[in-house]
A and B are shown apart, each in its own frame.
Chain A
Amino acid sequence: MRISRLLTDYAIAFFLLCSLGFVLPRLLPGDPFLAIYGEEAALSMTPEMKAEIYRRFALDQSWGTQFVAYFASLLRADLGWSYYFNAPVGKVMAGFLPWTILLAGASLLISTVGGFVLGLESGSRKGSRWDKGLFAGLMLVGGVPDFFVGALLLLGFAVIWPLFPLGGAVTVYGGQAGWAWGLDVLRHLALPLASLVLARMTTLYLLCRNSAALLLKAPFLRTARSKGCDEGSIRYRHLGRSVLLPAATSAGLHLSHLFAGILMIEVVFGYPGMGTLLHRALAARDYPLLQGILLLASVTVLGVNFFVELLYPILDPRVKTACISNTERS
Chain B
Amino acid sequence: MHIQYGKKLKSGPGLLGLYLLIFWAAVALAGFFLTPYAPEAYAGKAFLPPSAAHWLGTNDVGQDLLSQLMAGARTSLGVAIGAAFVSALLGALLGAGGTLVGGSVERLTVRMMDVGLVIPPILAAMLAAAYLQPGSFTLIGILAFFFWPGTGRLLRSQTLLLRESGPVTAARTFGAGRWYLLRRHVLPDLAPVLSAAMIHDARRAVFLEAGLAFLGISDPLAQSWGRMIQQALAFTYLDAWSWWLLPPGIAVSSLVLAFALIGTGLEETHAAD
Q: Are A301 and B120 in contact (CB under 8 A)?
A: yes
With a cutoff of 8 Å between Cβ atoms, the chain B residues found around residue A35 in the complex are 131
Smallest Cβ-Cβ distance to B248: which chain A residue: A148
Q: Are A25 and B256 in contact (CB under 8 A)?
A: no
Complex interface bits, A213-243 against B, C-beta within 8 A gives 1, otherwise 0: 0000000000000000000000000000000
Q: Are A24 and B245 in contact (CB under 8 A)?
A: no
A263 to B121, CA, bound (A): 15
* Tally of chain B residues near chain A (CB < 8 A): 47
Residue in contact with B123 in the complex, picked from A146, A151, A152, A259, CB distance below 8 Å: A259
Please report which residues of chain A, range 243-292, place their CB below 8 angstroms from some CB of chain B when the two chains form the complex: 255-257, 259-260, 263-264, 267-268, 278-279, 282-283, 287, 290-291
Q: Are B214 and A295 in contact (CB under 8 A)?
A: no
A143 to B153, CA, bound (A): 25
Q: Are A9 and B114 in contact (CB under 8 A)?
A: yes
Residue in contact with A294 in the complex, picked from B116, B127, B157, B237, CB distance below 8 Å: B127
Q: Are A144 and B253 in contact (CB under 8 A)?
A: yes
With a cutoff of 8 Å between Cβ atoms, the chain B residues found around residue A17 in the complex are 119, 124, 127
Minimum distance in angstroms from A141 CB to a CB of chain B: 9
With a cutoff of 8 Å between Cβ atoms, the chain A residues found around residue B200 in the complex are 327, 330
A71 to B115, CA, bound (A): 20
Complex interface bits, A110-121 against B, C-beta within 8 A gives 1, otherwise 0: 000000000000
Complex interface bits, B213-245 against A, C-beta within 8 A gives 1, otherwise 0: 011110000000010011001001100010001
**Known contacts A24-B131, A145-B207, A295-B127: A155-B122 contact under CB 8 Å:** no
With a cutoff of 8 Å between Cβ atoms, the chain B residues found around residue A255 in the complex are 120
Q: Are A329 and B236 in contact (CB under 8 A)?
A: no
Q: Are A143 and B257 in contact (CB under 8 A)?
A: yes
A327 to B204, CA, bound (A): 12
Q: Are B119 and A13 in contact (CB under 8 A)?
A: yes
Is residue B154 within 8 Å, beta carbon to beta carbon, of the partner chain?
yes
Q: Are B216 and A302 in contact (CB under 8 A)?
A: no
A326 to B121, CA, bound (A): 13
**Known contacts A294-B127, A298-B127, A330-B150: A144-B256 contact under CB 8 Å:** yes
**Known contacts A10-B118, A147-B211: A24-B132 contact under CB 8 Å:** yes
Minimum distance in angstroms from B21 CB to a CB of chain A: 13
Q: Are B123 and A298 in contact (CB under 8 A)?
A: yes
Residue in contact with A151 in the complex, picked from B115, B122, B249, CB distance below 8 Å: B249
Residue in contact with B120 in the complex, picked from A144, A166, A298, A326, CB distance below 8 Å: A298
Q: Are A294 and B131 in contact (CB under 8 A)?
A: no
With a cutoff of 8 Å between Cβ atoms, the chain B residues found around residue A142 in the complex are 260
Complex interface bits, A9-39 against B, C-beta within 8 A gives 1, otherwise 0: 1101100110011001101100000010000
Q: Are A145 and B123 in contact (CB under 8 A)?
A: no
A71 to B122, CA, bound (A): 23
Smallest Cβ-Cβ distance to A36: which chain B residue: B131
Which 3 residue pairs spanning A and B have beta carbons closest together? A256-B120, A143-B257, A24-B131
A-B contact pairs, 6 of them (CB 8 A): A9-B115, A140-B257, A144-B249, A145-B207, A298-B119, A330-B117
Interface residues of B (CB under 8 A from A): 111, 114-124, 126-128, 130-132, 150, 153-154, 157, 200, 204, 207, 210-211, 214-217, 226, 229-230, 233, 236-237, 241, 245, 249, 252-254, 256-257, 260, 264
A-B contacts besides A17-B124, A159-B237, A290-B130, 18 pairs, CB < 8 Å: A9-B115, A27-B132, A140-B257, A143-B257, A144-B252, A145-B256, A146-B211, A255-B120, A256-B120, A256-B122, A260-B122, A267-B214, A282-B130, A294-B123, A298-B120, A298-B127, A302-B118, A327-B150
